[in-house]
Amino acid sequence: MSRSNVLSTDEAIENLISTFNELNSNSIDELHDEPSPLEFMRYVARNTPFVIRGGASSWKACQDWNSAYLLSVMKGQNVNVAVTPYGLVPSAGYEQRKEPFADSDDSNADMPTVPPGEESMVFAKPHYEDQPFEELLEYVARQGADPDFPPDAEVRYAQTRKLSYFSPGAFTDCPRENDNLREEYISLFSDVQKDIPFARIALDKCPDAVNLWIGNSKSVTAMHKDNYENIYVQILGRKHFVLLPSLCHPCVNEQPLKAATYTRGENGMELKIDDTYDEAVPFAIWDPDRPEQNATKFSHLAQPLRVTLNPGDMLYLPAMWYVISQTSFFHYSSITKIG
C-alpha cells in the first residue's frame, strides 16, 4: 500500500464506525418467545441487544404488583433511598430532552454537572438515606401523578447504586451493585424468577446481582456503561432506553471527572466534592438527544438505538454498551446482572 493510501487515525475511526453502521441494523430485534440458551449465546457473541415482548408477563410480580400489594409486604421496613435536587444548573449540557424524554426538564444525579462556584465538571452522586418504604412509595407516586406537587421538589428513588462509585485504580463508570432484591427487598424476591434460565445455562453462571429499581419520570440516568451482561425486566410502567455500542466510544466524549455527592444542608441539597478519591474516572458527557453539546468530531456518526419497555417486557443489554434510561410515570423494574 502506498503512503498516499494510508488512512489517518481520524479517517480510520470514521471508516470503522461508518462500516459498523452499514453492517448492523438501526433497530433492536424483537422476540416474542424466550430464546434458547444457544440462541442467546449467539446474541452475546455478537454483543447485540434484543427485546422479548411479554417475556416476563407470567411472573407473579408482573401480575400482582401495585401500591397496595407492595405496602402489604413492605410496610414498616426501612429501605435505602437516593435523593437529589430537581433542576440542576444545566451548565453540563443536560437541558430539556427530546422525545421520549420530554417530561424531564432538567438534570439529576447521577449526572455530570458543574457545581455552583466551580469551573470543572464533576460526576454528581445522590444523597442516600434510609426511609420507611411506605413513605418512599407515597412520595414517588404523588410526585409522578399529582399536578399540584411542587415542581422544584427533590427527587427520590430506590435504586441499586451505593456510595462506592469510584474505586481507586478502577477506570470504569460502573457502580458497585448491591443486589437489593435479594437483600433489603428479599420479601419480594419470590415474586420474580431467581434467575433467567436461558442466560444462566448459556453463561454457566448464576446472577451476580438482582436489583429492583423504583422511581418516576423525574429520574433520568446519564449515559453510562458497565461490564455486566444485563437483563432488564419491566414490571410496572414504561421505561425508555437510548443505546449505543461500545464501538461509539469516540463519539461520547468521555472525560475524567471527579466525584461529588449531594448532602442535606441548611439550604437544602448541597453538592460537595468528594475528597476521598483523588483519581478522576472517565465518564461520557455527550448526549445523543443534544447532539451539538459536548460533541466530538465523531459524535455525528453515532446512530443510537431506541426502545421502550412495557410491563412484562425483557431487554438484554450487552456488556459495555452505553445506555440512557428514563421512566414514564411511576414504575418498578428488575435488573439481573451476570458478570
Instruction: Report pLDDT for 172.
Output: 39
Quote the pLDDT of residue 115: 75
Non-local (6+) Cβ contacts of 276 within 8 A are: none
Q: What is the pLDDT of residue 15?
A: 97
Domain ranges of the chain: 23-338
Residue 316's pLDDT is 98
How many C-beta neighbours within 10 Å does residue 143 have? 23
pLDDT tens per residue, range 244-289: 999 999 999 999 998 888 999 888 888 888 887 678 888 999 999 9
Fill in the amino acid letter for 115.
Answer: P
pLDDT at residue 86 in the model: 64
β-sheet bridge partners, residue 82: 128, 157
Q: Write down the pLDDT at residue 52.
A: 99
| Cα 81 to Cα 296: distance, rounded to the nearest angstrom | 35
Nearest to 259 by CA among 236, 238, 275, 235: 275
Which residues have CB under 8 Å from 326's CB, separation 6+? 97, 100, 101, 104, 217, 219, 220, 221, 239, 240
Burial environment of residue 94 by CB neighbours within 10 A (0 to 12, 13 to 18, 19 or more): buried
Does residue 10 sit in helix, strand or coil?
A: helix
Which pLDDT belongs to residue 109?
52
- Residue 297 confidence (pLDDT): 98
Rounded distance, CA 132 to CA 149, Å?
Answer: 20
Quote the CA–CA distance of 265 and 123 in Å, as a whole number.
Answer: 19
Q: What is the pLDDT of residue 100?
A: 40
Reading the block at residue 309, the C-alpha cell is: 419497555
Could you say which DSSP state residue 220 is in?
Answer: B
The predicted model scores a pTM of 0.86
CATH for 23-338, among 1.10.760.10, 2.60.120.10, 1.20.120.420, 3.40.50.300? 2.60.120.10
Predicted pLDDT at 84: 87
**Residue 106: predicted pLDDT:** 47
Grid cell of 17 as nine digits: 464506525
Cα 139 to Cα 81, 285, 311, distances in angstroms:
11, 30, 22
Listed as ranges, residues in the chain with pLDDT below 50 are 87-107, 162-176
Distance (Å, whole) CA 47 – CA 270: 40
Using only the alpha carbons of the chain, give its radius of gyration: 20
